[in-house]
Amino acid sequence: MADGLELTGVSVAYAGRRVVDDVSLQVRPGTIVGLVGESGSGKTTLARAVVGTVGLAGGTVHLDGTPLARRRSRTERRAVQLVQQDPYASLNPLLTVGRVLDELLRVHRLAERRIASDTAGAPDAGAWRRARCAELMGLVGLEADTLGRYPRQLSGGQRQRVAIARALAVEPRILVADEPTSALDVTVQRTVLDVLVGLSARVGLGVLLISHDLSVIHAACDDVAVLREGRIVEHAPAARFFTHPSDPYSRRLLQAVPRLPERAP
Amino acid sequence: MRIEGLRVAGETELLHGVSLAVGAGEAVGLVGESGSGKSLTLRAVMGLLPRGLRVTGGTVEVDGRAAMIFQDPLTFLDPLVRVGDQVAEVCRVVAGLSRRASRVRALELFADVRLDDRAVLARRYPHQLSGGQRQRVLLALALAQEPDLLLCDEPTTALDVTVQREVLDLLASLRAERGLSLVFVSHDLAVVAQLCDRVVVLRDGEVVEAGATRDVVARPHHPYTRRLLDAVLPLPALAGGRDG
């Protein structure tokens, strides 16, 4: 099996009903796969299945060729991270951004691991963590002084980038982003998408980008999968999907998107 | 409707003299990001300003009756009353209909907003309906008030794209059938462009640009309008056209 995330025949059932039904999907390192679906399609449940917070009724999830167990180890949990829609709800209001990140690095003993494996590195874990926090801010396009701020002092877009930085702190292989731009103003959406695109290219992160918004998927993704009532009805390279969808439902979705009239060049 | 120099303030001023005119049967889009004052403008027209805010200047004139629909219908529907009864109640009060006649009228309105399975649906409670059905019920509730002007505050923002398309088409046909005037508030210029002849761009409580939608989209003057347009993420054209 290849590198990255691989779902094979994944099903999730609630009360006997299959809300995710026989889904197969691959996310390679350095690529962004878009998962599009309307409400009730099972997108969020699928996200939970990928990060391991719901059990599977069938199928397997592999990471870099290794099957992930029902109860994931701490290392396995670190490897697949989730970013959710609402950055307001997911950040502790009482901690500064720097404190949140530092805490994570400390809990996972990331400095110690890194220093142990890096012969040239300084032995000071605190200094390593400070440098890493600044680096994380850089990766999501935020100034280093953001580390001293509290969540309420940040805009929605900044908060979402902090949430991404927090997910990145534990050095995941795969990032699952569930509607990461839906709560943001339109002018900020693009910044967050650019961050995801940059990360997949620069650090080889595999991203599963879940959205109801086809333009968001188009702006960021290499491949597109369409989920309807728990099943994948189409899975195609983005370049083909947006002009030549093969499934009638995909086509209906694309036709429904409001588009601007022609703009002057 | 004519709004002239509307000012709204709480501790600080939030609307700094907004002017806006909507002709009979016209659809005008009000566009801006959160905090621009677009919803506040509609609420001021309806006298529904949040606590602590008041109109401090300007005038609002509405010829005839205005009704409003909202992004989240659940906030405005009574969770404990069947939706058919809620619409019937408004018919009784507004049109002075009897209990029986108002129930018949409610079903007619459900037909007007293209709700299927009306008799069954009328007996449901709001939480038993889908998002699209709730928005249609809210629209029926607004129509029950026999409005000449319909104020729409992001009514499709929370809906799935295929449902959004249905509701936009419905609003367009109601406007044509009834000669309704519409004010449609949205953060999304592409949505507004589907429905509105004219568009007004609002930023930080001030109108920065106004004009025919086609012109504003093709040749935006204000940098902020340009930013909003640039933020609309483009999609390539679908092979075989929109209706193929």
In a domain, residue A255? The reply is: no
User: By the 8 A CB rule, do A237 and A68 touch?
Assistant: no
- Find tokens 């290499």 and name the residue: A222
Q: Is the ipTM of this complex over 0.90?
A: no
Residue A10 has pLDDT above 50, yes or no: yes
In a domain, residue A261? The reply is: no
| Contact criterion met (CB < 8 Å) for A216 and B234 | no
pLDDT of residue B244: 39
DSSP B37-96: SHHHHHHHHHT-PPTT-EEEEEEEE-SS-EEEE-S-GGGTS-TTS-HHHHHHHHHHHHH-
Distance CA(B7)–CA(A59), nearest Å, equals 60
Q: Which of A111-125, A227-241, B130-144, B188-202 has the lowest mean pLDDT?
A: A111-125
Number of independent structural domains in chain B: 1
In a domain, residue A240? The reply is: yes
Name the residue of chain B whose CA is nearest to A211's CA.
Answer: B160
Residue A264 has pLDDT above 70, yes or no: no
Chain B positions in Cβ-Cβ contact with residue A257 (cut-off 8 Å): 161, 190, 235
| Contact criterion met (CB < 8 Å) for A261 and B218 | yes
Distance CA(A54)–CA(A37), nearest Å, equals 19
pLDDT of residue B240: 77
Tokens of B25: 């049967």
In a domain, residue A61? The reply is: yes
Residue with the larger pLDDT of the pair A43 and A88: A43
Number of independent structural domains in chain A: 1
Contacts of B69 (CB under 8 A, 6+ apart): B135, B138, B139, B142, B150, B151, B152, B153, B155
| Contact criterion met (CB < 8 Å) for A254 and B164 | no
Q: How confident is the model at residue A263 (pLDDT cuts 50, 70, 90)?
A: low
In a domain, residue A258? The reply is: no
Distance CA(B179)–CA(A51), nearest Å, equals 52
| Contact criterion met (CB < 8 Å) for A258 and B239 | no
Q: What is the pLDDT of residues A151-170, one digit of tens each?
A: 999 988 899 999 999 999 99
Average pLDDT, chain A: 90
Distance CA(A63)–CA(A80), nearest Å, equals 9
User: Domain span at residue A79?
Assistant: 5-249
**CA distance, residue B147 to nearest chain A CA (Å):** 27
Contact B201/A at CB under 8 A: no
pLDDT of residue A123: 65
| Contact criterion met (CB < 8 Å) for A242 and B235 | yes
| Contact criterion met (CB < 8 Å) for B236 and A261 | no
In a domain, residue A191? The reply is: yes
In a domain, residue A155? The reply is: yes
Contact B102/A at CB under 8 A: no
In a domain, residue B11? The reply is: yes
Question: DSSP character for A264?
Answer: P
Residue A43 has pLDDT above 90, yes or no: yes
Q: How confident is the model at residue A115 (pLDDT cuts 50, 70, 90)?
A: confident
In a domain, residue A137? The reply is: yes
Question: From the centroid of its chain, how far is CA A160?
Answer: 11
- CATH code, domain carrying A88: 3.40.50.300
Residue A113 has pLDDT above 90, yes or no: no
Residue A6 has pLDDT above 60, yes or no: yes
Contact A70/B at CB under 8 A: no
| Sheet of strand B54-61: strand arrangement | B13-21, B2-9, B54-61
User: Domain span at residue B2?
Assistant: 1-25+49-63+197-210
Nearest to B36 by CA among B159, B162, B169, B189: B189
Q: Which residues pair with A7 in a beta bridge?
A: A25, A61
pLDDT under 50 in chain B at which residues? Answer: 244
In a domain, residue B168? The reply is: no
